[in-house]
Amino acid sequence: METVRVLVTGGAGYIGSHTCKALAAAGHTPIVYDNLRTGHAWAVKWGPLEHGDINDLASLSDVMRRHRPDAVINFAALAYVGESVARPDFYYQTNTAGMITLMQAMRLHDVGAIVLSSSCATYGIPARIPIAEDTPQGPINPYGRSKRMAEEIMSDVCFAYGLGGIALRYFNAAGADSDGELGEEHHPETHLIPLVLQAAAGLRPHISIFGGDYDTPDGTCIRDYIHVTDLASAHVAALSKCRSGEFSAYNLGTGRGSSIADVIACARAITGKAIVTQPEGRRLGDPPVLVADASLARKTFGWSPAHSDLENVIKDAWAWMTIHRARVAPGD
């Protein structure tokens, strides 16, 4: 793939920043566009940072005019399911209307390719496991619906105006950069693995287990955890597969599921900490099992998750939390 300039909206966030590192390692130039509402300036290390909002057409146009990107990778989104239920308009404005604004700017400046950070939340409670791309999409919350709508908008615009678009629907992003330059830093934190490790580090008194009576081998929910470095490499690979006038979607996952109990047992072994657990009732809408069929991405991109063994995921996340994070200025 030839060297390209890539506008990475939301590139100061968790997956976006890891993707910027992967882009730079592949010889490309990432230009980060982020409002820093949930992203971090310290995570922007491989190209310029432009401060702006995904819904600001004038700002996006100015950045595209000055930097002349060849492609866009869009990570600019809100991603808390509970918040989406409480503030659905906020989610549709950012995740859905923001896609319209971004693609308008792309058309104004002849940017012909886009890769969208999408989600397995577009499937809702799946009819079958593992989940393939032809599994019916039935999202059960505004977050999932906002992502599905963004995909539909992207598809229609690509067909109408000759843009090339790929949506990457990933499962449970986890882990941290093995070099210690980047890691997961959310406020508030809602992802299982960092919550478990916070309990191990004494930053919270326990880890809550929501439901222990699911129809799974140990009674706890099973999820497909994929290392953030593997997600980043998939975004880089997807850029070269964008085709004018076409839209396609791909799952990103390992095809292997780990239960909550598996995660806690692995974290105990790696950290040497007891990790107190507290049983809670089931959360509404939590499917027992979510595991990806990512064979289409493997076939199309020649991509495979090389870092996503659960032990490696937790080891890298623990190193970030306990060693590398201390280098980052608090509050930055």
Domains recognised in the chain with CATH numbers? 5-173+227-253 (3.40.50.720)
- Reading the block at residue 270, the tokens are 């790696």
Task: Decide if pLDDT at 54 tops 60.
Answer: yes
d(CA 105, CA 276): 50
Residue with tokens 């490309």: 28
Element (DSSP H or E) covering residue 238: helix 228-239
CA distances, 318 to each of 72, 224, 262 (Å): 32, 19, 16
- Could you check whether the bond before residue 30 is cis, i.e. omega within 30 degrees of 0? no
* Predicted pLDDT at 329: 47
Confidence of residue 328 (pLDDT cuts 50, 70, 90): low
Residues in the chain: 332
Q: pLDDT (tens digit, 9 = 90+) per residue, 233-245?
A: 999 999 999 999 9
- Reading the block at residue 268, the tokens are 């105990």
Q: By percentage, how much of the chain surpasses pLDDT 70? A: 98
Q: What is the DSSP letter of 195?
A: H
- Reading the block at residue 212, the tokens are 């222990």
Confidence of residue 80 (pLDDT cuts 50, 70, 90): confident
Residues taking part in catalysis: 143
d(CA 144, CA 263): 25
